[in-house]
Amino acid sequence: MKLYDTRTAQKQEFAPLDGAAVRMYVCGITPYSESHIGHAMSYIYFDVLRRYLQHLGYRVRHIQNFTDIDDKIIARAKQQGIGTVQLAQKYIADYYEVMDRLGILRADVYPLATVEIPYIIDVIEDLVEKNFAYASEGDVYYRVEHFRPYGALSHRKLDEMLAGARVDPGEKKESPGDFALWKASKAGEPFWPSPWGPGRPGWHIECSAMSLRYLGTQIDIHGGGQDLIFPHHENEIAQTEAFTGVAPFARFWAHNGLLTLGEQKMSKSLGNLITCRDALDRYTPEALRLFFLSSHYRSPLAYSEENVTAQNRALDRLRGALEPTQDTGAEVDAAPFRRRFTDAMDNDLNTPQALAAMFDLTSEIYRARLAGQAVAAGQAGLIEMADILGLHLRPAKRDASADPFIEILVELRKELRTSQQFTLADGVRQKLQALGVVLEDSAQGTKWKFGG
């Protein structure tokens, strides 16, 4: 398997350090509002990476943090009139719920910044002792100029970065490029005691400390969005390698492309986002997952409702290929399609090509059925590939007692369309679709079925 490494800007043969267990750290969310589909895209990509590594026979130890204290959390908690702990717990619970619905495997550990503060302080003290960091009026800053490889991940030159750096009001830095490891508390803010006075950790140091504590001095894969390359991941390297003396801290840096809505990156700070809950109210988890996996993880992806909705037809075709059959002729050979799928996944997790192999196998299953051939082996291969991508194609068991209520909603939609209330009618269709109910309109009326 070859995986692209951001630091070397090359695809390289992947194998874990110890040959058996993969140590993977993925940067988590700052829980100050609902998780959005940009988060969903990123974590689906890393979920598929984990699933494929496990398919190859590796054990994967996956750590993903929650930044449960920072300026945004403090401001939002104040705005809502609740404590920072209560706010963070609320949105962490939201994260778990929507990611579970999307079929994303849970990490082995989700460390919290506020829980790891004693260890974070230990790391900062060591960096101060080694002269990589310094205290300044209750703050602690990292001396960027003391770490010679700084800029290697983002492929920037230190001199150029320092020329464009500035000192914000209230900062007490030796150099504009230095960054905060510990922040002195302000009036009314949560704080923790430290050797430098009451305060809280900076954003960058928490990930270094958590990775060190739960995965050791060197890891195999560090993941996150491309917007984290600089400064967050660049600063992680500087902190961690200065602390351990071991390089590289992460052997592979995997960064996913960003999701756009219109011309802009989708983000909480810009306010142009669609929450995971909103998306899951409109679409099935499989449709969303298929939409994201239809694009290579390192490529930018433009979100549109039309593109997500179109995935339902593709899912219908995949599920249709799995319908039982009694044919007993020559068996469909899934091996060539498996090889194509594996070759694509081995080539830097090329999910678009992997999906192409799946859909070609699907066409072969349909063709074989028409020819009276047996298709069980082909269906088994299709299910195996789908499972690696986290696409659950098996028909779900359902309670038939819900059928009369579905009929009522289908009739309601018909009446709304007759009265030209098309927005409301589309809303009914989307709600049913999110529950796995597919509507098929024709001149003879509307039929419905599960499984789209």
Here the CATH number for the domain that contains residue 349 is 1.20.120.640
User: Does residue 353 carry a pLDDT above 50?
Assistant: yes
61 and 122 in a single domain? The answer is yes
The CB density around residue 401, as the number of other CB atoms within 10 Å, is 7
The total number of structural domains in the chain stands at: 3
Contact (Cβ atoms closer than 8 angstroms) between residue 112 and residue 65: yes
Which pLDDT score is estimated for 421? 85
Asked whether residue 382 falls in the same domain as residue 405, the answer is: no
Which domain-ending residue is among 208, 235, 265?
265
Give the C-alpha distances (Å, rounded to integers) separating 434 from 262, 308, 430: 24, 12, 6
In a domain, 270, yes or no: no
Structure tokens at 93: 């619970």
Query: What burial class does residue 251 get, using C-beta atoms within 10 Å of its C-beta: 0-12 exposed, 13-18 middle, 19+ buried?
Result: buried
Give the angle subtended at the CA of 153 by the CAs of 273 and 32, to the nearest 5°: 30
- Residue 359 contacts residue 317 (beta carbons within 8 Å): yes
DSSP 109: B
Residues 378 and 411 in one domain: no
Asked if residue 271 belongs to a domain, the reply is no
Is the same domain home to 359 and 443? Answer: no
Beta bridge partners of 275: 36
Residue 420 counted as domain residue: yes
Say if residue 291 is in the same domain as residue 437.
no
pLDDT classification of 434: cutoffs 50, 70, 90: low
Q: Are residues 360 and 254 in the same domain?
A: no
Please give the full DSSP string across 268-281, using - where no structure is assigned. Answer: TTTT---BHHHHHH
CATH number at residue 108: 3.40.50.620
Q: Which residues contact 262 (CB under 8 A, 6 or more apart)?
A: 272
Q: Are residues 13 and 160 in the same domain?
A: yes
Report the mean per-residue pLDDT for the chain. 92
Domain check: are 45 and 184 in the same one? Answer: yes
pLDDT in tens, 33-91: 999 999 999 999 999 999 999 999 999 999 999 999 999 999 999 999 999 999 999 99
Q: How confident is the model at residue 160 (pLDDT cuts 50, 70, 90)?
A: confident
- Does the pTM exceed 0.75? yes
Task: Judge if 193 and 49 occupy the same domain.
Answer: yes
Q: Is there a domain that residue 231 lies in? A: yes
pLDDT interval class at 267 (50, 70, 90): low
In a shared domain, residues 374 and 411: no
For tokens 């996913």, name the residue: 256
pLDDT at 328: 72
- How do beta strands 59-64 and 21-26 pair? parallel
Instruction: Show the domain range for 441.
Output: 400-450
Q: Does 80 reside within a domain?
A: yes
Asked whether residue 95 carries a pLDDT value surpassing 60, the answer given is yes
Q: Which of 363, 388, 413 is the last residue of a domain?
A: 388
* Domain-embedded: residue 273: no
Q: Do residues 425 and 416 lie in contact, with contact meaning Cβ atoms separated by under 8 Å?
A: yes
Q: Is 324 found in the same domain as 182?
A: no
Q: Tell me if 276 is assigned to some domain.
A: no
Kind and range of the H or E run holding 5: strand 2-5
pLDDT recorded at residue 398: 55
| Residue at which a domain ends, from 388, 417, 441 | 388
- Note the pLDDT tens digit of each residue in 376-423: 999 999 999 999 999 988 654 555 677 888 888 888 998 888 898 888
Q: Is residue 176 part of a domain?
A: yes
How sure is the predictor about 452, in pLDDT bands with cuts at 50, 70 and 90? very low
Give the pLDDT band (50/70/90) at residue 431: confident
Does 252 lie in the same domain as 218?
A: yes
Could you give the CA distance from residue 84 to residue 73 in angstroms, rounded to a whole number?
Answer: 6
The tens digit of pLDDT for each residue in 305-345 reads 999 999 999 999 999 999 888 777 788 999 999 999 999 99
